[in-house]
Structure 1
Amino acid sequence: MLKSELIHPEISAIIAQAGHSSRILIADGNYPASSAIGSGAKLVSLNLAPGLVTVSQVLKVLLTAIPIEAVNTMGMPDDDPYKLDTDPPAWDAYRGILAAAKSTVELKPIERWDFYDAVASRDHVLTIQTGDQALWANLLLTVGVRQAGE
């Protein structure tokens, strides 16, 4: 039996094959996961119902399984009709999850179209589609390096 919190067999198999600089998208329920995906990436749908599961729930579990080098959110363009005046509440939740996991990685937004380009890269190995309904909840994780003794 695995000691990590991650027990999903397909996700486990994909991340076991991923290496340094591989990218994993945890997509919210509004993300066009079937069309905005890297050419070699796999799509795992965990969107059971609106709100189930959430990006935060997936992030917590993934942090128990893989080292993370970077965490990017989709930035809000000034002309976007859904742009908020402050950081979305989901981003604060992610910062709290990273802190609780004792991660030193900072959450960094990248512009919306650059985000889509990053997902389309050859490094994108996995999209996990959630049912999260929060606005601007997409997260792009870059796999880091496992250090000696970990």
Structure 2
Amino acid sequence: MLKQTLIHPEINLLLGRAGHHSKVLIADGNYPAYNTLGPNAELISLNLMPGVVNCTDVLKALTAAIPIEAANTMGIPADDPYAGQGDPPIWNEYRQILKHADVDVELEPIEKWDFYEAVAGPHHVLTIQTAEQALWANLLLTIGVRQPGT
């Protein structure tokens, strides 16, 4: 029996095999998760019904399980109707979760098509597909280094 927050056996297996610079995508309900997997990535689908499971719950579990070196959101293209309205509300939720978990990283948007390329790359090891309904909720995490004694 695990005592840590993250208890999903397949996710734990994949994170245990990952190393520094490996990338984990928390995908929202609109993301084409299956056909954008990198060559070394696995897909875990947690999309039970709209909104269950959501991206913030997955982020909370991951912050308890892995060191996070970088957090990238999918940048909003200038021609998107959402552009110019400021950050999507879920990005502030991510910031609060990271802060609460003492993860000292800033959310850094990556242009939409560059985001897809980053996910398709060889460092991508895991996509966790959620049923998140918030727009622009995709979050690409880069695993950091476990410090001695932790």
**CA apart distance, 1:3:** 2.4
Q: Structure 2 vs 1, CA of residues 32 and 96 (structure 1 numbering), >3 Å: closer, same or farther? A: same
**2:131 paired residue number:** 131
- Structure 1 runs of 4+ aligned residues shifted over 6 Å read none
Q: Equivalents in 2 of 1:87, 1:7: separation in Å?
A: 31
Q: Can you give the 5+ residue segments of structure 2 that lack an aligned partner in the other structure? A: none
Q: Equivalents in 1 of 2:124, 2:90: separation in Å?
A: 22
Superposed counterparts of 1:55-94, under 5 Å? 55-83=55-83, 85-94=85-94
After superposition, what is the alpha-carbon deviation per residue over 1:24-48, rounded to whole angstroms, capped at 9, x for unaligned?
0000000000111101100000000
**CA apart distance, 1:83:** 3.2
Q: Kindly indicate whether residue 110 of structure 2 is the aligned counterpart of residue 110 of structure 1.
A: yes
TM-score normalized by structure 1? 0.97
Deviates more, 1:2-11 or 1:130-139: 2-11
**CA apart distance, 1:126:** 0.3
**CA apart distance, 1:84:** 5.2
**1:119 paired residue number:** 119
Q: Kindly indicate whether residue 14 of structure 2 is the aligned counterpart of residue 5 of structure 1.
A: no
**2:40 paired residue number:** 40
| Residue type of the alignment partner of 1:3 | K
Identical-pair percentage: 63
**2:54 paired residue number:** 54
Q: Can you give the 5+ residue segments of structure 1 that lack an aligned partner in the other structure? A: none
Please, what is the CA RMSD of the aligned residues? 0.9
TM-score normalized by structure 2? 0.97
**2:142 paired residue number:** 142
Q: Equivalents in 2 of 1:44, 1:82: separation in Å?
A: 28
Q: Equivalents in 1 of 2:12, 2:30: separation in Å?
A: 24
Paired residues, number: 150
Q: Equivalents in 1 of 2:116, 2:90: separation in Å?
A: 19
| Residue type of the alignment partner of 2:39 | S
Superposed counterparts of 1:20-31, under 5 Å? 20-31=20-31
